[in-house]
Structures are given as structure tokens and as C-alpha cells.
């Protein structure tokens, strides 16, 4: 199996004649089981079209740093955090200069500055540009910063009569370098099984109405992705959300709290369980088979029944995971409620967050969490949900004893 199997690769396609090779590179990466997310610079669009790139990658092509829809949830940070590897192919002299000097005036630049994933660059330029002292300085600076390179190779250039070192490495050589680079990255949760719940549940009243909590699923999905990046084998149990399924994990779709509990229990045994879903506390005791109509006699009388407490059932389960984490979404008495949940539900940690309307947490791009354990309370700053997920998983790594001294 390739080291790229089930890895997420962000491919930055730069503006150069070698951009056409990026099409074959996408195909070669996908042959090895990688999911490829393309980012095209404006200049790249002069050489290959987003339509052809997107068709081969089978996903959206990103290009605009100021895209209103993507940047509602800080899209450049999300792209930087969700991927296991960033490949820049072709890498122009300008892109090298920008990254070497910390410039980020487009989406590709912002992603390259924000990523914590390894970066592999495949330079492609005229030999005179590659040999220029400024390019050589930038190359050395990027190497010192930890950026890896493949190529450039010696060969003929697009310009008639030009030859020398500057030709972009062939796609198979880039893939081989990517496999080697990914194989060296530490994945501290490798070999562990994790369950994550995410999103709301919908408890039907009749065929068209339901009881639910507000939840976009962004935080739960981000945590599942961060666990996967750390090497865990992840099962994501998701209520109804509009988010795409993350790559590289098993995703179980459910509607109700009962279905979610069943899916979680079916996923046991596990080493880690993180319960992020906003499960509805109540359901109607008897769902109507027909749509309830207004008949002038006032609102219908609905008898409610309590839904299962999934966190408590797993926290006290005979096959309880070694680490059980819950989320407490509260509008008042945040810490008191979180401490009660910690004691009552058999959890090792509760991440408490204030979901008062003024905070904008529910459905928003950011989160402010307070970590409550038997040892006390740790306040975290306001973070993008992907950042909060990465920090949570770093805490899990330490708690599971899977850090550097492992």
C-alpha cells in the first residue's frame, strides 16, 4: 500500500508552462489512494483550466483568497489545516521568493504560510532564473525552513534552443518524493481507534416536522479530521449536516438520537471517543404517521420522552474507550454544568463552550472552549474550529501518552 493511501494532498498549481503536468500528477496521486484538493494561482489558469483540473481531482478547485463563500469559515486556514501534505507543482521563481520572504497576497501564499503540513516544491523555470543568485538564496532559505524539493531536472526548455537545469520533475518522481516525505511524518495516534459524533439529531414529530438542536457539525467534523491526521482510524457518526464527508474515515449517517447511540455502540471497541454532536434531549413519545394539520382547535398536545444520554451510556459502558470526551454547550452556569456532567457521565474531560446567541458559536467559524477535567479548568482562547480541533487532538496525544517520549 502506498504511503499516500487515504492521505489528503493539497496541490498548488503555479503559473508556468509545466502546469500541464499537474493534470497527470493529480491522476498519479489518486492512483495511490490520495485525495487531492487543487489550488490554482491566477497565472495557472492561463495554462490549464479549472474545469480540467476539477474533473481529474473530482473536487472543487480553489483560487480566490477573497471568495465570500469559502472565507466565511476562514477557508485558507481550513485548507491549510485539513491536509497531510502540500505539493507546489510547478513552483515558479516568484512563488519561491514569496514564501522565502513570508508574503501571502493570494490564496496559495496564505495557505503555504498557514500550513503545518510538510511542503514539497517542484521548481520549474528557465535555467537562468534557477541559477540567479536571488533564486539560489531563496532555495537555501526554504530548505532551512524545512521545505522539501524535488528537481528541477536538466532538459530542454519551452523556449527554443534553451536547455539546462530548470525542467519540472516528472509526475512519477514527484509522487515518489511525496511518498517518502509522508512516510517520515510522525502520526502519534497510529493504531488507535476513535469515534466522533457530530452535528444535530432530528427527532420527528410527523413526516415533515422535527425537534432539533442548532449545529452545523463543523467542530465535530474538524475534530474527526484532526484525529485522522494524527494517525487514528476514525469512525465519524454524523447527524444531518450540509458538510461533505471527510476523506479517509468511515462515516455513518444518522437522523435520531437512538440511531446515533446504536451507531456509536456498533463502532465499539475504540480507544478514543469524542462526543461533539448536539443531541436533542427530547423526542415526541409517539410520532404521527400523517402531517399534523391546524384545525382551529389550538396547537396539538405533544407528549415528550427523554432521549438516551449517549455520553453517559458510553462513559459507563462495559467496553468503555480508554478516553471519553464530551462537549457541554451551555448558555449559563457554564463551569458548574460542565463539572456536573464530568462527574455524572463518566467522562475524562468536558469541553465547555458558551453557546449564547451573542457568541455566534452555533454554526459559526470560531469556538472558545474551556477544558474541564478532574485536575481543574483550562481556558482556551478563541480559535477557528480547525485550530481548536488541532489543539484538542494535541491534548489527546499527551493524555494518551503518545507524545515524543513514547
Cell of 154: 536538466
Q: Any known ligand binding at 291?
A: yes
Q: Any known ligand binding at 281?
A: yes
- Secondary structure (3-state) at 59: coil
Catalytic residue set: 213
- How does 379-401 read in b/e, with b if 16+ C-beta sit within 10 Å? ebeebbbbbbbbbbbebbbebbe
Question: Residues with Cβ < 8 Å from 194, sequence gap 6 or more?
Answer: 224, 227, 232, 233, 234, 235, 270, 271, 272, 273, 274
Q: Any known ligand binding at 311?
A: yes
Phi-psi region of 315 (alpha: psi -120 to 50; beta: other; left: phi over 0): alpha
E strand or H helix at 372, and its extent?
strand 370-373
Phi-psi region of 231 (alpha: psi -120 to 50; beta: other; left: phi over 0): left
Q: Any known ligand binding at 375?
A: no
Q: Any known ligand binding at 66?
A: no
Q: Any known ligand binding at 310?
A: yes
Q: Any known ligand binding at 308?
A: yes
Distance CA(329)–CA(317), nearest Å, equals 23
Annotated binding site: 281, 291, 308-311, 327, 341, 345
Binding-site residues for CTP, please?
A: 281, 291, 308-311, 327, 341, 345
Amino acid at each position: 500500500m502506498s504511503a499516500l493511501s487515504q492521505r489528503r494532498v493539497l496541490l498548488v498549481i503555479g503559473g508556468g508552462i509545466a502546469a500541464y503536468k499537474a493534470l497527470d500528477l493529480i491522476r498519479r496521486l489518486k492512483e495511490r489512494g490520495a485525495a487531492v484538493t487543487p489550488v490554482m494561482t491566477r497565472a495557472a489558469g492561463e495554462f490549464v483550466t479549472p474545469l480540467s483540473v476539477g474533473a481529474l481531482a473530482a473536487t472543487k478547485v480553489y483560487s480566490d483568497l477573497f471568495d465570500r463563500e469559502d472565507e466565511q469559515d476562514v477557508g485558507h486556514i481550513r485548507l491549510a489545516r485539513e491536509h497531510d501534505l502540500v505539493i507546489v507543482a510547478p513552483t515558479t521563481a516568484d512563488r519561491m521568493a514569496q514564501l522565502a520572504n513570508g508574503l501571502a497576497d493570494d490564496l496559495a501564499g496564505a495557505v503555504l504560510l498557514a500550513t503545518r503540513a510538510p511542503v514539497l516544491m517542484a521548481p520549474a523555470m528557465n535555467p537562468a532564473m534557477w541559477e540567479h543568485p536571488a533564486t539560489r538564496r531563496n532555495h537555501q532559505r526554504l530548505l532551512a525552513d524545512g521545505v522539501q524539493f524535488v528537481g528541477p531536472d536538466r532538459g530542454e526548455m519551452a523556449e527554443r534552443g534553451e536547455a539546462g537545469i530548470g525542467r519540472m520533475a516528472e509526475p512519477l518522481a514527484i509522487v515518489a518524493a511525496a511518498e517518502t516525505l509522508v512516510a517520515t511524518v510522525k502520526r502519534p495516534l497510529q493504531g488507535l481507534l476513535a469515534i466522533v459524533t457530530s452535528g444535530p439529531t432530528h427527532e420527528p414529530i410527523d413526516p415533515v416536522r422535527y425537534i432539533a438542536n442548532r449545529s452545523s457539525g463543523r467542530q465535530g467534523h474538524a475534530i474527526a479530521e484532526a484525529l485522522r491526521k494524527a494517525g487514528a482510524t476514525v469512525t465519524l457518526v454524523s447527524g444531518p449536516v450540509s458538510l461533505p464527508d471527510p476523506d479517509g474515515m468511515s462515516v455513518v449517517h444518522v437522523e435520531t438520537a437512538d440511531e446515533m447511540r446504536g451507531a456509536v455502540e456498533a463502532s465499539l471497541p475504540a480507544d478514543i471517543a469524542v462526543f461533539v454532536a448536539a443531541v436533542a434531549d427530547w423526542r415526541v413519545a409517539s410520532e404521527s404517521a400523517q402531517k399534523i394539520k391546524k384545525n382551529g382547535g389550538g396547537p396539538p398536545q405533544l407528549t415528550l420522552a427523554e432521549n438516551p444520554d449517549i455520553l453517559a451510556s458510553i462513559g459507563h459502558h462495559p467496553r468503555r474507550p480508554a478516553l471519553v470526551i464530551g462537549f457541554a454547550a451551555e448558555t449559563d452556569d457554564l463551569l458548574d454544568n460542565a463539572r456536573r456532567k464530568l462527574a455524572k457521565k463518566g467522562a475524562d474531560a468536558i469541553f465547555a463552550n458558551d453557546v449564547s446567541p451573542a457568541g455566534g458559536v452555533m454554526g459559526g467559524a470560531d469556538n472558545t472552549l474551556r477544558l474541564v477535567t478532574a485536575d481543574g479548568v483550562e481556558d482556551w482562547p478563541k480559535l477557528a474550529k480547525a485550530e481548536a480541533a488541532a489543539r484538542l487532538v494535541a491534548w489527546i496525544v499527551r493524555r494518551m501518552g503518545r507524545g515524543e517520549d513514547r
